[in-house]
C-alpha cells in the first residue's frame, strides 16, 4: 500500500476495508489500520475536492474509520482533511465539520455508532442453547488478576454489552474532561478510576470490542475487557472480585413476546415469554441483588419497551431489599411523551395495554426522561432510538440503606 499510495484502494475502499477488519475482530493490528488511514488521507487529498467525490463519500469514510476505534495522529489528520473537504463542498452540517477539524469526532459520535447499530441489528440472536459462547471462561481457575492490572479499583459492568461501545467510551473519559449529558444521577463518578467488564453471547460483537481495546492501548493499564459467556457466569464470578462493584448496566435487552400465543408476525427470534429465554431471569436477578447489597452498587437499566421496563423493575423489587432511586429528570406522564415524540403510542404498548388494561405505567419519580450516563457512554441502540425519535425507559436500583449497613457489618 505504501508503494502504490492507495492506487489499489481508491475512493472509499480503504475505509470499507478497515471497517470489515474491525468487525472481524482484528486485534493487535494498529499498523494495518494506520496504513489504511494513510491511504484514506491520500485519497481525500487526491480526489476528495472533486465534484464527482460527493460529500456522502467523505462522510462514509470518516464514519467507518471512527467505527473501528482507531486513535492515532494519522486518524486525526484524516478527520481534519475530511472537514476541509466538506467545508469546500459547502456541506450543510457546520457542527460536524467543526468536530472533524477540532478532533472531537470518533467512536462516541452518532454517525459511527449508527453503522455499528446496523451491523448488530442484523446479527442472529444468540441463546443459551447455542454452542458458540461455551468457552468455559469462568472455570474454577478463573482469576480477575488475569484481566485487570489493579483489581482493587471499582468495577463497571455491562450485561449484554453488544459492541461494547458504552464501556469503551466511558473508560476513555479523562478526569479533566467536561462531560455533556446528565451527571446528576451518577454523582461522584471518576470514570478514569474504574475497571470495566462487558459480556455478551454474540462472539462476533465481543471480538469487535476486544479488538478495539487492543487498538486503544487499554491493555497497558489492564482496565477493560469483554467476555463471551452467559451473564450468570460473569455475575457469579463478580463475588470474588477484590474491588467494589460500582455499577451494573443492562441496556436494551432483547424483549420477550407479549404472550406465548402472540402470532409470529414480528421478530421470530424473540424469547417466547418473560420467563422463557428472557436474559433477565430470576437467577440473574438473584445474583445481581446480592452484588448490589454487598457493594452498595447501582443497577442502571434502559429499554425502549415499556412493558419490559415495568416487568423488570418489579422483578428486581420482589425480594423487598432493593429500591428504585428517584431521578433528577422525571417522566410524569408517559402518554404525553409518546404523543410529543411519535404522535401515537407504539404498537407494542397498545397490545400490552389491551392485554393488561390496569397495567402499571413507566411514569413517576423513578423513571428518568434523560440518559442516566454521560452522553459519551451511549450505546449504538440508544443513538438509533434518538435517530428514530423513540422514547427510552430508564430507572436505577440500589440496595436499601439498612440492608447495605447490615451486609457491611457481616463482613
Report the CATH number at residue 288. Answer: 3.40.50.150
**pLDDT of 411 above 70:** no
Indicate if 38 and 162 belong to the same structural domain.
no
* 119 belongs to a structural domain: no
**pLDDT of 153 above 70:** yes
pLDDT band at 410 (very low <50, low <70, confident <90, very high): very low
Q: How far apart are CA 334 and CA 305, in angstroms?
A: 12
Mean pLDDT of all residues in 17-27: 93
Residue from 220, 206, 198 nearest 150 by CA? 220
How much of the chain exceeds pLDDT 90, in percent? 69
Q: How far apart are CA 273 and CA 299, in angstroms?
A: 23
Residue from 189, 182, 181, 184 nearest 326 by CA? 184
The number of domains in the chain is 2
Mean pLDDT of all residues in 28-40: 90
**Residue bearing the bigger pLDDT, 122 or 275:** 122
Indicate if 227 and 165 belong to the same structural domain.
yes
Mean pLDDT of all residues in 9-22: 91
CA angle 146, 151, 154 (to 5 degrees): 135
Angle between helices 94-101 and 73-88 (to 10 degrees): 150
Amino acid 190: pLDDT: 86
Mean pLDDT of the chain: 87
Lowest pLDDT segment from 66-75, 160-169, 171-180: 171-180
Angle between helices 30-47 and 13-23 (to 10 degrees): 160
- What is the value of pTM for the model shown? 0.89
Indicate if 232 and 351 belong to the same structural domain.
yes
Angle between helices 55-67 and 13-23 (to 10 degrees): 30
Expressed as residue numbers, the domain containing 345 is: 128-410
Amino acid 265: pLDDT: 46
Q: How far apart are CA 311 and CA 303, in angstroms?
A: 11
Indicate if 225 and 326 belong to the same structural domain.
yes
* 4 belongs to a structural domain: no
Residues 6+ apart with CB under 8 A from 390: 304, 341, 342, 346, 384
Helix (H) or strand (E) holding 396, with range, is strand 393-399
pLDDT digits (tens, 9 = 90+) for 107-135: 999 999 999 999 999 888 777 766 555 55
pLDDT band at 378 (very low <50, low <70, confident <90, very high): very high
**pLDDT of 270 above 70:** no
Indicate if 102 and 135 belong to the same structural domain.
no
* 99 belongs to a structural domain: yes
* 123 belongs to a structural domain: no
* 5 belongs to a structural domain: no
Indicate if 144 and 50 belong to the same structural domain.
no
Indicate if 54 and 137 belong to the same structural domain.
no
Mean pLDDT of all residues in 269-296: 84
Residue 121 and residue 113 in contact, taking contact as beta carbons nearer than 8 Å: no
Indicate if 233 and 346 belong to the same structural domain.
yes
Indicate if 331 and 195 belong to the same structural domain.
yes
Mean pLDDT of all residues in 92-97: 95
* 102 belongs to a structural domain: yes
**Residue bearing the bigger pLDDT, 29 or 238:** 238
Indicate if 73 and 136 belong to the same structural domain.
no
* 3 belongs to a structural domain: no
Residue 163 and residue 114 in contact, taking contact as beta carbons nearer than 8 Å: no
| E strand spans, 352-392 | 364-368
- Sequential DSSP letters for 125-187: PP-TT-STT---TTSTT--GGGT-S-TTS-EEEEET-TT-HHHHHHTT--TTPPPPB--TTST
C-alpha cell at 189: 463518578
Amino acid 174: pLDDT: 80
Mean pLDDT of all residues in 127-144: 72
* 113 belongs to a structural domain: no
Indicate if 170 and 237 belong to the same structural domain.
yes
Helix (H) or strand (E) holding 64, with range, is helix 55-67
Residues 6+ apart with CB under 8 A from 370: 181, 182, 327, 328, 329, 394
Lowest pLDDT segment from 264-268, 280-284, 388-392: 264-268
Amino acid 342: pLDDT: 74
Indicate if 228 and 261 belong to the same structural domain.
yes
Amino acid at each position: 500500500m505504501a508503494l502504490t499510495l492507495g492506487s489499489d484502494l481508491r475512493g472509499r475502499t480503504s475505509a470499507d476495508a478497515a471497517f470489515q477488519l474491525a468487525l472481524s475482530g482484528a486485534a493487535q493490528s494498529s499498523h494495518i489500520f494506520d496504513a489504511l488511514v494513510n491511504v484514506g488521507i491520500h485519497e481525500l487529498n487526491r480526489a476528495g475536492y472533486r465534484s464527482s467525490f460527493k460529500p456522502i463519500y467523505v462522510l462514509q469514510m470518516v464514519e467507518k474509520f471512527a467505527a473501528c476505534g482507531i486513535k492515532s495522529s494519522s486518524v486525526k489528520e484524516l478527520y481534519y482533511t475530511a472537514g476541509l473537504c466538506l467545508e469546500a463542498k459547502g456541506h450543510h452540517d457546520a457542527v460536524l465539520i467543526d468536530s472533524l477539524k477540532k478532533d472531537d469526532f470518533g467512536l462516541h459520535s452518532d454517525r459511527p455508532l449508527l453503522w455499528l447499530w446496523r451491523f448488530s441489528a442484523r446479527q442472529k440472536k444468540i441463546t443459551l442453547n447455542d454452542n458458540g459462547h461455551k468457552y468455559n471462561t469462568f472455570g474454577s481457575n478463573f482469576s480477575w488478576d488475569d484481566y485487570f492490572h489493579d483489581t482493587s479499583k471499582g468495577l463497571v459492568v455491562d450485561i449484554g454489552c453488544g459492541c461494547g461501545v458504552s464501556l469503551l467510551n466511558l473508560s476513555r473519559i479523562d478526569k479533566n474532561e467536561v462531560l455533556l449529558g446528565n451527571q446528576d444521577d451518577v454523582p461522584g463518578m471518576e470514570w478514569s478510576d474504574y475497571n470495566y467488564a462487558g459480556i455478551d453471547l454474540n462472539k462476533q460483537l465481543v471480538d469487535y470490542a476486544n479488538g478495539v481495546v487492543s487498538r486503544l492501548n487499554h491493555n497497558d493499564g489492564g482496565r477493560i475487557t469483554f467476555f463471551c459467556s452467559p451473564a450468570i457466569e460473569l455475575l457469579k464470578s463478580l463475588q470474588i472480585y477484590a474491588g467494589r462493584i460500582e455499577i451494573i448496566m443492562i441496556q436494551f435487552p432483547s424483549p420477550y413476546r407479549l404472550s406465548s400465543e402472540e402470532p409470529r408476525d414480528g421478530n421470530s427470534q424473540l424469547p417466547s415469554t418473560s420467563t422463557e429465554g428472557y436474559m433477565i431471569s430470576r437467577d440473574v436477578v438473584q445474583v445481581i441483588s446480592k452484588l448490589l447489597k454487598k457493594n452498595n452498587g447501582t443497577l442502571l437499566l434502559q429499554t425502549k419497551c415499556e412493558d419490559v421496563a415495568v416487568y423488570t423493575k418489579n422483578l428486581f423489587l420482589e425480594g423487598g431489599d432493593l429500591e428504585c432511586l428517584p431521578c433528577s429528570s422525571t417522566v410524569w406522564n408517559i402518554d404525553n411523551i409518546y404523543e410529543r415524540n411519535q404522535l401515537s403510542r407504539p404498537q407494542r404498548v397498545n397490545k400490552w395495554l389491551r392485554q393488561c388494561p390496569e397495567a402499571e405505567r413507566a411514569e413517576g419519580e423513578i423513571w428518568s426522561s434523560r440518559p442516566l450516563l454521560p452522553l459519551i457512554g451511549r450505546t449504538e441502540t440508544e443513538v438509533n432510538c434518538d435517530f428514530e425519535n423513540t422514547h427510552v425507559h430508564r430507572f436505577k436500583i440500589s440496595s436499601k440503606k439498612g440492608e447495605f449497613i447490615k451486609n457491611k457489618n457481616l463482613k
